[in-house]
Amino acid sequence: MKRVLAAIPVDARPAVRSQVREMVACSGWELRMPPKPLLGRLRTAGDRDALRHWLLEQAPQVDGFVISLDMLVYGGLVPSRFIEDEAQALLDRLKVLHQLRRQAPHKPIHAFAATMRISNNNVAEEEKPYWAEYGARLWSWSHHQDRAQQAARQDHAAQSLQEVRRLELEIPAAIRTDYLMTRQRNLQVTQHALEAVRAGVITRLVLPQDDTAEFGLNVAERRHLQREVQRLGVDDRVAIYAGADEVMHTLCARLVAQLERRDPLRIGLLPSDPQALSALRARYEDRPLGESVAAQITAVGARWVGESDEADVMLAVHTQGTEQGDWAMGIALSQRTGVSRAWVQALHDARDRGRVLALADVAYANGGDPDLLECGLPMPDAYAGWNTASNTLGSVLSQCVLGAGRLQDEPARRALSLRLLEDLLYQARLRQVLRAQVDESRCTPQTLLQTARDIVLPASRDFARAHGLSHCAADLSLPWGRSFEIDLQLEALA
């Protein structure tokens, strides 16, 4: 009988729902998720009462659970930033975990809850309305409050205090108070989740740091949560690191490997620029890239073995210089170091020795490096290059764990085709073409969708054939009615 996990994703986007389900299928498992209409859409919260009932119904039928607390409590990651529920009403929604534990006393319950982000822009699409005018200043106010507390040099602390005072004259007190109260309410929910870990209700809890930076109120919360983890004695069951959208991938991979009682997958590392692992602080993250690599290896339950011949998988990490570009925000690379022949040869040598080759393409945020496949690299067994560095790292490592021993089978080759088509072709190339042709703020959703189809579908077939992929895009949709996310429906190439 096929083994089954039940999961509640953070929302209904393909990257955190259907794509994870397809990835889990590579391992021979079924990932059961609630019907899509229950998960809401962008600013519309999911149906939390229906999700509670769905979850309890799964208890006798599945082997384990992976649960987004953001969806279960707030109705999704985006609604968590602005939903108006009082703290006690939200805390009451956590009680379903205790019911689930009583119904499934010996089954693992893995859960995750993102520390609320603070975005550095004046875009209110995923925030409270006042973000449209005060978003960038709220980010600076947050940044300088924390920097004033943490700066090693007194002159830096004094500069930040001066900035805090200036910004508090510009940002209305009511907005600052509302923002702090929202953060405090959500932090209270997370603290109760930690208590559920101590009580044995939650087996493993991940607290990813969504869209963060070196300083900020969210970073101060992270330090507070780390102290709470130590105080409660749950550091062996709680992980806190940069990321968010990849956590469903990594927790499913870890849980499948755990339930199958596998030995940890051994990961070797082949960075294109070893110095970049410590020098590069990826966009939207609060730590050097090397720390994110280590955190994601641990997240999937794997073990790092350096460049040892003991490795089952060689993780190739591609960077360009010491700063990421960003395709979605139109930020070019500050320097192009190119791809060294020595690194390309090392990847070929690893392939010749029978190693599985996983490529984490983190030169850019929000898309891969379009030139990468033109440099003579061997085709990887697993690939990712989407959103943040941790999103990329976690998902490519999850592909390796879930596809272990089956990466040449059709489901895994389909998953590889999807990542290359979405991350390298769409995010890094065609999304910019689409945005140049259509003004999203003025066109109809139908026009945006049809233009996307006209641009992407023929290009995907050409790209797939040129690179020997097993699948191309037969159709597509735009899940949130905008160009940022895309949902490619694939078909096998003849």
Looking at residue 87, which CATH number applies to its domain? 3.40.50
The verdict on 251 and 321 lying in the same domain is no
Residue pair 95/51 in contact by the 8 Å Cβ criterion: no
What is the pLDDT averaged over residues 136-163? 92
**What tens digit of pLDDT does each residue of 318-359 get?**
999 999 999 999 999 988 888 999 999 999 999 999 999 999
The verdict on 202 and 96 lying in the same domain is yes
The verdict on 47 and 183 lying in the same domain is yes
Q: How many domains does the chain have?
A: 2
Give Cβ neighbours of residue 100 (< 8 Å, ≥ 6 apart). Answer: 55, 56, 59, 65, 109
The verdict on 254 and 380 lying in the same domain is no
Does the structure show a pLDDT above 90 at 155? no
Nearest 5°: CA angle at 386, between 21 and 315? Answer: 85
pLDDT value at residue 374: 85
Quick one: three-class SS letters along 131-158?
HHHHHHHHHHHHHHHHHHHHCCCHHHHH
What is the pLDDT averaged over residues 281-307? 94
Name the domain boundary from 407, 429, 448.
Answer: 407
Asked whether residue 318 is domain-assigned, the answer is yes
DSSP 10: S
Residue pair 71/16 in contact by the 8 Å Cβ criterion: no
The verdict on 24 and 45 lying in the same domain is yes
Name the domain boundary from 210, 238, 259.
Answer: 259
Asked whether residue 247 is domain-assigned, the answer is yes
Task: Tell me, yes or no, if the pTM score tops 0.85.
Answer: yes
Asked whether residue 130 is domain-assigned, the answer is no
Residue pair 99/105 in contact by the 8 Å Cβ criterion: no
Asked whether residue 158 is domain-assigned, the answer is no
Name the domain boundary from 367, 383, 407.
Answer: 407
Asked whether residue 440 is domain-assigned, the answer is no
Structural domain containing residue 275: 266-407
The verdict on 292 and 206 lying in the same domain is no
Asked whether residue 458 is domain-assigned, the answer is no
Q: 297: closest CA among 281, 313, 284, 278?
A: 313
The verdict on 189 and 88 lying in the same domain is yes
Does the structure show a pLDDT above 70 at 228? yes
Sign of torsion, CA 131 135 137 143? positive
Q: What is the spatial distance between Cα 185 and Cα 193, in angstroms, rounded to a whole number? A: 13
The verdict on 276 and 390 lying in the same domain is yes
The verdict on 357 and 334 lying in the same domain is yes
Model confidence at 302, pLDDT cuts 50, 70, 90, reads: very high
Q: What is the spatial distance between Cα 491 and Cα 494, in angstroms, rounded to a whole number? A: 9
Asked whether residue 141 is domain-assigned, the answer is no
pLDDT value at residue 1: 55
Asked whether residue 491 is domain-assigned, the answer is no
The verdict on 280 and 245 lying in the same domain is no
The verdict on 72 and 217 lying in the same domain is yes
Does the structure show a pLDDT above 70 at 111? yes
The verdict on 243 and 293 lying in the same domain is no
